[in-house]
Amino acid sequence: MIDRPYVRVDELTQHFPIKRGVVISRKVGAVKAVDGVSFTIRSGETLGLVGESGCGKSTTGRSILRLYRPTSGRVLLDDVDITALKPDELREMRPKMQMIFQDSYSSLNPRHSVAKIVAEPMVIQGEKDGTKLRHRVQELLDLVGLDADHAKRFPHEFSGGQRQRIGIARALALNPSFVVCDEPISALDVSIQAQVVNLLAALQRELGLTYLFIAHDLSMVRHISHRIAVMYLGRIMEQADYDELFRMPMHPYTQSLMSAVPIPEPSVEKARTRMILKGDVPSPARPPSGCVFHTRCPFATERCSFEVPEPREIRDRHAVACHNVDDVFVGSQIEAQRSAIVESLESAAGEGPDRAFASMDTGA
Amino acid sequence: MTGDTVLQVRNLAVEFDSIDGTVHAVNNVSFDLKRGQTLGVVGESGSGKSVSMMSLLRLIAEPPGKITSGSAVFLPRNGEPVDLLQLPKRWLARIRGDRIGFVFQDPMSSLNPLMTVGEQIAESVRKHTELQGSVCRDRAVELLEHVGIPGAAERYNNYPHQFSGGMRQRVMIAIAIACNPDIIIADEPTTALDVTVQAEIVDRMQKLTKELSISVIWISHDLGVVAGIADVLMVMYGGSVVERGEISRVYSHPRHPYTIGLLGALPKLGAAQKRLVNIGGSPPSLFSPPRQCAFAARCPWVFDRCKAERPPLFFATGSHSEDPSAHGHVTACFYDLEKDRRRDPDETGIDVTAFEVGQQG
C-alpha cells in the first residue's frame, strides 16, 4: 500500500446561516455543523467517523463530496482540490467519488426500476449504448449479490437489506475510487447489518475502494475501519488507528462512548465500568466556549472553558484534542478511567460462549 | 428474585387480515413473568415481539387484528387474578397505565404536544389514584425529580418540545411508574437515543424498577442492551418463541440456530473478528399458516422434519445426569445442538401449560 493520503481534508468548516424575516431576510447566527475538521485517508483504507446525532458527521461526508459548498477549508481527492472546482469540472470528478445513503427508502426513486436506478449515473455521465448499460447493470447486481432478474423490479418489492444493495450497486456504477458510506446499516436488522458490512468489506478488497464510513455504532465501525475519528459538536476529539483507539482511548468523550456501547455478554454488561455523562449534547447553534465538551466532561478544568484545545499527536498516529490528557494531576485520573474501561471490555473479549459456529455461515 | 408470578401467558396467537391474506403475526407464545423480574424480548422487525406484548393489553387495532387464541392471566399485587384477554374494554382501561405501565420507543409521538409534561404526569396520578388537586402536582414534581430531571418544579410547566429526546423518555418513565405498577412494558425505549443517553436511561430504569420491585418486559432488537438489563431472555422469530431461558445461560450456550446466528452477527467491541456471521436470506413471510419451522429456509442444520412440522419447545440442556429443566432453558428446534444430533421423533416437546419458565435452581 502506498503511504500517501488519497483523501485529504484540511480545516473543513461548514456553517449554515440561521435567518430571520420573510421579506428582508437577515442572518442572525450560524449553526456550526462542522468546525475545523482535518483528516486524511490512505488509498484502499477506511476511516470510520463516529459520533452521536447532531455532531456533524453526516454533514462532513456531504461537504467532502461537495453536496454542500464548504464555508472554508480544503478537500483534496487524489491531489485535486475539489472545493475550488467549477460545476463542469466537478461533474468530471463525480465518477471518482460516490455516496451510499442511510435511508434506502428515500434514496431510491420508487417509480424507477432497479435497472434504471443503477444505470442512471452512467446515463448522466453520457453513456448512451443500451446494450452496454444492460451488461453493466447485470454485472453490478451480480457484484452486490442480487439476481439478474431483479433488474426489472421496483424498490418496494425489496427488503431493507436488498434495497441497500441496490444503493451500493448504484454507487459503484461509475467505478469510483472513494465512497462515502453515510450510516449504511443503521436502519437494518442485526442479521442483515452483518450481510451488508461483509459485502462492503469484500468490495473494498476486490476493487481497492477507499471508504469514509460514517456511523454512530462504535463496535460496527471497529469492525470495518482502519482508522477511526471521533466527532463531537463539529470537531474531531480523537483520531487513531483502530486497535490503538480501542486499547488507548485517551479523550474523555471517547472513553464515555466506549463505556456506553452495550456488550452482548450478560456477565460483562452487568458488571462493567461505566462513565455516564450528565446532560445532553448542546446545540451547535450555541456551542460552548473553549472545549465544546467541557460542559459534560467530568475532568474539565477552568482552562477548558475558554481555550479551544487543538488536536495534538500524543502517541504515534494518535491525535487527541484535550488540554488535560498529559496533565500531571488530571491526566492521571483520565488514565485511570481509561484502564478501568478497557479492562472491563477486554474481559468480554476473553470469555466467549461455547458457540461452535464456524459452520454457521449460510450466506453468500 | 421472588418466586411469585405476575403474568402468565399461554398459547397466545394473533392474526391480522390484509388485502393479500391473513398475516400470522404471533403463533403460540407462552411465558411467565415473575415479580421484580426483567424479561428481555429480542427479535428482528416483524418477529412479533411488539405485537405479542401489545395485544396482551389489546393495544392492537381490532380489526384488522384479531387475538385468535390464548390466555394472559395477570396476578396483581393486591387484587384478584384476571385474564386480560377476556376483560371488557372498560376494565382494561383501569389496568392500563395503573397496574401496567408503558414506555414506548418514540416519546415525541406518545406525549401530548399541547399539554405540559407535568400535567401529563399529574393526569395519570389523578385518574388512577385517590389523590386530588394540588397533591397530584406535588407528586408529579416528585416523580420528575425521581427520574433525574434537574429543576423539576420549573420544568413542570414545560411542553414536550422544550425537552431533549433523553429527557422526554425520562418523562415517559415517570408516567409509567406514577401509580407504582406491577409491570412496565418497555417497547424499544432506547432505540431512538444516542448511546451515551441510552446508557443513562437503562441505568435509571434498572434502579427504579428494582427499587419498586416492578416487573419489566423489555422489548428490543439490541442484544447488547438486553444483556445488561434482563434476567430472562426470550428470542422471537417469525411470530414464535424460538429460545428462552435465564439470560447468561442463553448467551453462553445458545441452543437455537437463529440465536446463534444473531449473536455471531454482532461485532464485539472488545475483540477483533475477521468476519461477522452471515445469516443468509431474509426473515420469513408470515402469510402462510405456520406449518413448518419459520427459520427452516435460513438454517444450516435444516433437515426434512423441519419442513414438515412446526417444532415445539424442547429443553435445551438435556444431559441425563442433570435435571433438564434446571435452567428453564428451552429451544424450539428439532436439532439437538447440545448433543449435535437430530432429536428422536418420539421425543416430546414441553407441555407449556404446566411448565413455568425462568425458574432458577
Q: Supply the pLDDT for residue A214.
A: 93
Of A237-246, B72-81, B120-129, B271-280, the range with the lowest mean pLDDT is B271-280
- Are β-strands A318-320 and B21-34 bridged in parallel, bridged antiparallel, or unpaired? unpaired
Of A151-155, B96-100, B130-134, B175-179, the range with the lowest mean pLDDT is B130-134
Residue A246 pLDDT > 80 = yes
Q: Supply the pLDDT for residue A331.
A: 87
Q: Cβ of A191 and B279 within 8 Å? A: yes
Q: Cβ of A361 and B269 within 8 Å? A: no
Q: Supply the pLDDT for residue A167.
A: 92
For residue A47, what is the enclosing H or E element?
strand A46-50
Grade residue A138 by pLDDT with cuts at 50, 70 and 90: very high
Residue A212 pLDDT > 90 = yes
- From A87's Cα to the closest Cα of chain B, the distance in A is 37
Q: Do the beta carbons of residue B260 and residue B307 sit within 8 Å?
A: no
Grade residue A355 by pLDDT with cuts at 50, 70 and 90: very low
Of A266, A356, A363, the CB nearest to B278: A363
Residue/partner pairs of B314-321 with CB below 8 Å, 24 or more apart? B314/B343, B314/B347, B314/B349, B314/B350, B315/B350, B316/B243, B316/B245, B316/B253, B316/B255, B316/B256, B317/B249, B317/B253, B317/B255
Of A220, A276, A347, the CB nearest to B267: A220
3-state helix, strand, coil in chain B (%, to 5): 30, 25, 45
Mean pLDDT of chain B: 83
**A191 or B57, greater pLDDT:** B57
What is the strand order of the sheet A235-241 is part of? A97-100, A178-182, A210-215, A46-50, A227-232, A235-241, A318-320, A312-315
pTM for this prediction:
0.81
Q: Do the beta carbons of residue B148 and residue B204 sit within 8 Å?
A: yes
Q: Which one, of A254, A259, A279, A253, lies nearest residue A271 by Cα?
A: A259
Of A121-125, A308-312, A358-362, B165-169, the range with the lowest mean pLDDT is A358-362
Q: What is the mean pLDDT of residues B253-271?
A: 80
Cis? peptide before B63, omega within 30° of 0: yes
Grade residue B318 by pLDDT with cuts at 50, 70 and 90: low
Asked if B247 is an interface residue toward chain A (Cβ–Cβ < 8 A), one would say: yes
- From B274's Cα to the closest Cα of chain A, the distance in A is 8
Q: Where are the alpha helices (H) located in chain B, listed in sequence order?
A: 49-56, 89-95, 107-110, 117-128, 134-146, 152-155, 165-177, 195-211, 223-229, 247-252, 257-264, 304-308
Grade residue B2 by pLDDT with cuts at 50, 70 and 90: very low
Residues within 8 A of A (CB atoms), B 71-90 only: none
Grade residue A174 by pLDDT with cuts at 50, 70 and 90: very high
User: Across-strand partners of B26?
Assistant: B14
Asked if B339 is an interface residue toward chain A (Cβ–Cβ < 8 A), one would say: no
Domain ranges of chain B: 239-357
Give residue-wise pLDDT tens across range A262-292. Answer: 888 887 777 777 788 877 778 888 888 899 9
Asked if B333 is an interface residue toward chain A (Cβ–Cβ < 8 A), one would say: no
Grade residue B327 by pLDDT with cuts at 50, 70 and 90: low
Q: Supply the pLDDT for residue B360.
A: 38
SS3 B341: strand
Rounded to whole angstroms, the Cα distance separating A215 from A49 reads 6
Residue A321 pLDDT > 90 = yes
Report the CATH number of the B239-357 domain. Answer: 3.40.50.300
Asked if B28 is an interface residue toward chain A (Cβ–Cβ < 8 A), one would say: no
Neighboring chain B residues of A165 at a CB cutoff of 8 Å: none
Neighboring chain B residues of A150 at a CB cutoff of 8 Å: none
Dihedral sign computed on CA atoms, order B61, B62, B68, B69:
positive
Grade residue B98 by pLDDT with cuts at 50, 70 and 90: confident
